[in-house]
Amino acid sequence: MADLYASLEEFLTHLKSLKAASPHTLRAYSNDLVQFIEFARARGQGTTDAVDVLLVREWIRHYREGKDGGGARAKSSMARKLSALRSFFRWLLERDEIEENPAVAVRRPKRDRPLPRFLDEDEVERLLETPEGDDFVAVRDRALLELLYSTGTRVAEVVGADVADLDLAGGSLRVRGKGKKERLCILGEAAVAALDRYLALRDRRLAEAGRRETAIFLNDRRGPKGLRRLTDRSVRRLLKEYLAKAGLDPKASPHTIRHSFATHLLNRGANLRLVQEFLGHERITTTQIYTHLDVKRLTDAYRESHPRAD
């Protein structure tokens, strides 16, 4: 028997150190599991041996109906919370701290899978052209945006990449994705040119500061915290600023660029399996969500190709 809060701390440490979970994933797991533990403790079931399938079902129902004051929740949110519970209890089961996983018997709500938000090709061009000037920040941000779109990488993969992972001559970047799995990403000519220009400025700034740094993308701060690895939060912030300047959807995120990368490849005839490799997806079903094609393009293709279209 163990306190659920104490077990949660160990579980999050496990996700961070052994599973290489991103800060975003860790925050999501922590928030979801803390909510469940608070619910369990309020009912006198705050230890590992006290949790059963009835409690899990009661919490899911409580959450779904918005009895916590948050209003009725979407199926996708409920499914995420149940997934977090299943992972947590599976870990406890592997450690022999519980005899069965109480979340397994709870049916996962069928999720409505919305099409991913993406920018069209013209919008991406507008975004890439937004960073203006020859100063360090503008040159860095242009290289960053070009890299995100050229490779379809996750923001955590980009900020975690080092200069040693780059091969500009060969046009590639090695990144470490989920679970520390490595994959090779292809760089287009525009990305290579932008990175080459940025790296020259980066190296000059580091030399002037008498510092060494392995990360590709560095912040522009002064003082002891200056010229350090850029964070994913900083990338999200600067992207929001450029979206506003370009007059684009303010809800877009670094993942929107990843969605755009996949969508544009498929729209231009790329093989789904290749796109799966580029994105680092383990399952082809994850990639299949990108097979949406705009109606106009399909209609035009039909009218041009079908013998009885007119």
Residue 68 CA to residue 141 CA, distance in Å, equals: 42
Instruction: Verify whether residue 198 is a known catalytic residue.
Output: no
Active site residue 290: yes
Determine which one of 19, 178, 197, 292 is catalytic: 178
Q: Is 255 labeled as catalytic in the residue annotation? A: yes
Task: Please pick, among 29, 63, 149, 290, the residue that the annotation labels catalytic.
Answer: 290
* CA–CA distance, 95 with 198 (Å, rounded to integer): 48
Catalytic residue among 140, 154, 202, 259: 154
CA distance 286 to 291: 10
Catalytic residue among 140, 258, 259, 264: 258
Of 237, 292, 294, 299, which Cα lies nearest the Cα of 259? 292
| Known catalytic residue at 63 | no
Active site residue 281: yes
Please answer whether residues 155 and 236 qualify as being in contact, where contact means their C-beta atoms are separated by less than 8 angstroms. Answer: yes
Q: Which two tokens stand for residue 65?
A: 């109906």
Which position among 108, 174, 255, 292 bears the catalytic label? Answer: 255
Give the active site residue among 140, 142, 264, 281: 281
Bridge partners (DSSP) of residue 176 are: 182
Whether 251 sits among the annotated catalytic residues: the reply is: no
Catalytic residue numbers, as ranges:
154, 178, 255, 258, 281, 290
